[in-house]
Amino acid sequence: MQTLLTALVSQIVKRGDLTLRFADGGQQKFGDGTGEPIIARFTDARGPLDLLRDPELAFGELYMDGRLVMDEGAIFDLIKIVLSNPVRGEPPRLLSVLRWARDIATFTFLRNERSRARANVAHHYDLDGRIYGLFLDRDRQYSCAYFERPDMDLDEAQLAKKRHIAAKLLVDPAHRVLDIGSGWGGLALYLAHYCGANVTGVTLSEEQLAMANMRAQNAACADRVQFRLQDYRDMQGAFDRVVSVGMFEHVGPAHFETYFRRIAQLLTEDGVALVHTIGRPDGPGATNPWISKYIFPGGYIPSLSEISTAIEKTGLFITDIEVLRMHYAETLKAWRERFMARRDEARALYDERFCRMWEFYLSICELTFRVEGECVYQVQVARRHDIVPITRSYIAEREARLRVRDAGELAPAQAAAGE
């Protein structure tokens, strides 16, 4: 098995300095010797076979189970050297076959019906809430931040993200806003407090709902915001604005048209919606199997072509698209560094295996954005093509006004959410 694995890795790693050590004491070097040396070691003889059987799934499993350990460098460095070596020509046949099979399975079996959608959400978002307090910003924004300046810290960039979204939505006082996938309530509270909107947030996470309700009760805008445990497909009413941040990734391709058709039904005639989602740069595909099994079951990252095709079938107009490049890489870097700095606290809440799983998750996600070009799409849609200004200057103008209003949001005296 060592010989077969060596042949596979040799096809992939052409640059860098990677050494694999095996349980029998043997080792093999890969790359051209440039850069910092990275040394990974299999702790049992079966590890190479398991990696060969399903590299994309077993890579993370071996690390989280302690069967692949880092003797020099971190797992981040090992993932980086693999992803930074693009395979020239046809990829190894094993990877091609596995990816083809997963593409077929994605569109055949990935159906997030109501009961399954709730179970999928609970798997990730109903963890002990203290875990998220270890690495998120004060407001618990669990989505891509917006780095207006390179020197912004995570809290500033997450506030800038909320401000950017509010400006694009053209939210005015007394607007009725629906927040689909409202998380711990930070965006809804921002829109209610700083924009004067009446906001309804819906989530499928009981843990997130409990904290959002607690925050709403203690907020000065408590009379203008409410949160519900509800599937977006069951929502009724009419809303001037609809926003969804980091939720579309959980919808699944079988439901894309349903999702946008529901937004169209919920929007008033002059309504505007904004969908903020991670996006693929290279067309439809399949979710990484390790991420799907351990982190986001039922998750699927859409391509821009899939998003636009679904919108075209619902009568909505696409009025603006922005591509946020590298912003999520920087967000995930901040999350990873903050988590690693408080790793001992995470281990006390769960165990060492959880910490290795979470480190792998944050590392591979950051590098997918940083190296492979994954991005975030902010897609603005409306029922009328003339309801949004025809130039984008209104975004900066509204951001400037909001910046004056939320200037005290990050005051040191403010208690961090969930701390």
The single-letter DSSP state of residue 387 is S
Task: Give the other-Cβ count within 10 Å of 291's Cβ.
Answer: 20
Active-site choice (144, 195, 365, 375): 365
Question: Under 8 Å CB-to-CB from 9, ≥6 apart: which residues?
Answer: 18, 20, 28, 30
b/e sequence 382-402, b meaning 16+ C-beta within 10 Å: bbeeeebeeeeeebeebbeeb
Residue corresponding to tokens 């400037």: 400
Percentage helix, strand, coil, to 5, in the chain?
50, 15, 35
b/e sequence 153-191, b meaning 16+ C-beta within 10 Å: ebbbbbbbbbbbbbbbbbbeeebbbbbbbbbbbbbbbbb
Are the beta carbons of 369 and 375 closer than 8 angstroms?
A: yes
Burial class (CB in 10 A: 0-12, 13-18, 19+), 205: buried
Choose among 146, 184, 150, 152: nearest CA to 168.
Answer: 146
Active site residue 375: no
Are the beta carbons of 378 and 327 closer than 8 angstroms?
A: no
Instruction: Please identify every residue annotated as catalytic.
Output: 365
